[in-house]
Amino acid sequence: MPFSPKYLNEGERVILDLHPHWWDFVRPFGYGVLGFVLALMSAEIATETSNDPMKWLEWLAVRASWLLVAMGLVGMLVQAVKWSRTHFVVTSHRVIYREGVVARIGVEIPISRVNNVNFHQSFIERLVGAGDLLIESGGEDGQSRFANIRDPEEVQNIIQRTVIEFEKRRD
């Protein structure tokens, strides 16, 4: 779902609208896959040892594995809803960050106050194309960190270009 234009000021245009990187889905997906593999393995062991007096333990292992699968699926659903309600937006006048489903958090940094934009990528983040942005601005907050931004180096360049264009329009 794109960022709603009703939150834009007059004469303001969206330059970049991002949701978090798909990297956010890895953990719940991993739980689901792990649970599925464990469920298959424990079901196989349970059929091979059907005369075992410890049958209740096998039954418990199978149920726990399927519970892990269900937790992974629920985690994916929760993450998908959170992902759809998180926006990192660069407009011609502001950098806007909004997240939350029930309780909402919002950060707005006027483009005219952006002093510096830094990015950080670990080795794994670099492989998948994710990273963190640190925007330094003149104001009370000073620094704002935004995690799991897609292609943070490119986003850094877009913000810097937007700052330069804004200053040219102001002159």
DSSP 52: -
CATH number, residue 109: 2.30.29.30
| Strand bridging mode 143-150 / 94-99 | unpaired
CB count within 10 Å of CB 112 equals 13
19 secondary structure, DSSP code: P
Residues 91 and 158 in one domain: yes
115 and 141 within one domain: yes
* pLDDT tens-digit series, residues 20-75: 888 878 887 787 777 777 777 766 665 555 566 566 666 777 777 777 778 878 88
Domain match, 92 and 143 both: yes
3 state DSSP class of 17: strand
Same structural domain, 14 and 63:
no
- pTM of this structure: 0.77
Domain carrying residue 60 = 26-81
Residues 125 and 106 in one domain: yes
Same-domain check for residues 161 and 131: yes
Same-domain check for residues 158 and 117: yes
| DSSP conformational letter for 171 | -
How many domains, in total, are found in the chain?
2
Domain boundary among 66, 81, 96: 81
Q: Are residues 49 and 117 in the same domain?
A: no
pLDDT tens string 93-139: 999 999 998 999 999 999 999 999 999 999 999 999 999 999 998 87
Q: Are 88 and 97 in contact (CB under 8 A)?
A: yes
Q: Do residues 46 and 72 share a domain?
A: yes
